[in-house]
Amino acid sequence: MSVLRHDWQNPEIEALLQLPFNDLLFQAHSVHRRHFDPNAVQVSTLLSIKTGACPEDCKYCSQSGHYNTGLEKEKLLQLEKVLAEAETAKARGATRFCMGAAWKHPSRKDFPLVLEMVKGVRALGLETCMTLGQLTEEQTSALAEAGLDYYNHNLDTSREYYDKIITTRHFDERLDTLAHVRAAGIKVCSGGIVGMGESARDRVGLLRELANLPQHPESVPINNLVKIKGTPLENVEDLDPFDFVRVIAVARILMPASYVRLSAGREQMNEQLQALCFFAGANSIFYGDRLLTTSNPLASSDQALFARLGLVPEGSQPSALPHQGATRQFHDAMTAS
């Protein structure tokens, strides 16, 4: 098994990113096989439980109240609606149900309902994940007591590029929230977004920050920017697809025991690019037609791609199933009702 390091330096990460493409993918895939079943993918579903009117000014976000993106704001969903969505996700093969609210931090008024959502979803037999913005120690402890499994709080980008993307929150405040989450015994889900006009050095900085946390995030979502009309980044230049695969591969090498999630931006990726990402070490996806407010590949498209690649949802099959058996198992897990 690979040694888990927390002392990576920029030159080392830069050297990995600059490897010949085949050499980098071979190294990343070799690390991946030492820690995971290479043909199993963890499947999560993401639901927006409170949409729009966020006070943050994240330049990529359709939900920011600072920009006119045409998104209508919605109040916090009722518990019954959330549980119904979770039941549907479970029936389709999801093992983790993630709930996101467009807040800078949870309000005192809404927080008790959030806790009931965690308890209710967990009672259905699903892993629970929340992303609610900045947390206090008290709120984090309450979420842990309610049974929250994961908390998502992305670093978004490098420390150096951060204030070019967000000015309403400091980079260290994100690290403080992650420290509260870890101290409470909740697993950490933290990654970032690439393709926001950042430099290769900024991608190195983001990966270094994540890999040098005292404990690696259990889940590392790597998002490829979805350009939203009305946001300051709507016309940013596209990231080279091979550079995106390189980020996935280096994340796998730096954090060998973490799940690396191929997250936002999949709808703009062709099947060949997604396959390269899976080979490079991505082993988690969001399944379903929506990611908070942006679209995601159709469920039927994911089923077809997984069948062609011989991939199956984690936990739905014994290791090393023959291709046809794996295909049938995936279809059964993803279409069960």
Q: Which of 203, 208, 261, 266 is catalytic?
A: 261
List, for residues 113-157, the tens digit of each pLDDT value: 999 999 999 999 999 999 888 888 999 999 999 999 999 999 999
Active-site residue, selected from the candidate residues 98, 169, 208, 246:
98
Percent above pLDDT 70 for the chain? 86
Cα(245)–Cα(242) distance, integer angstroms: 5
User: For this structure, is 277 an active site residue?
Assistant: no
pLDDT at 70 (0 to 100): 64
pTM as predicted: 0.85
189, 208, 252, 277: which one is catalytic?
189
Does the annotation count 98 as an active-site position? yes
Assigned token pair, 222: 């790597």
Band of pLDDT at residue 322, cut at 50, 70 and 90: very low
Q: What is the pLDDT of residue 298?
A: 61
Mean pLDDT computed over every residue of the chain: 86
pLDDT tens-place string over residues 289-313:
544 444 455 667 888 888 999 998 8
Which of 5, 33, 34, 61 is flagged as catalytic? 61
Q: Which of 54, 169, 174, 277 is catalytic?
A: 54
Give per-residue pLDDT as tens, 22-43: 999 999 999 999 999 999 998 8
pLDDT: which is higher, 185 or 49: 185
Q: Letter for the amino acid at 209?
A: E
Can 261 be counted among the known catalytic residues? yes
> What pLDDT score does 69 carry?
65
- 225 contacts: CB under 8 Å, gap ≥ 6: 60, 193, 194, 195, 196, 233, 236, 239, 264, 265
Q: Give CA–CA dist 276/274, Å, rounded.
A: 5
pLDDT for position 309: 93
- 156 pairs with which residues across the strands? 192
* Catalytic position from the list 129, 169, 246, 252: 129
- Per-residue model confidence (pLDDT) at position 62: 78
Which stretch of 127-131, 147-151, 188-192, 264-268 has the lowest confidence by average pLDDT?
264-268
pLDDT of residue 323: 38
Assess whether 290 carries a catalytic annotation. no
Check if 54 is active-site. yes
174-195: average pLDDT: 94
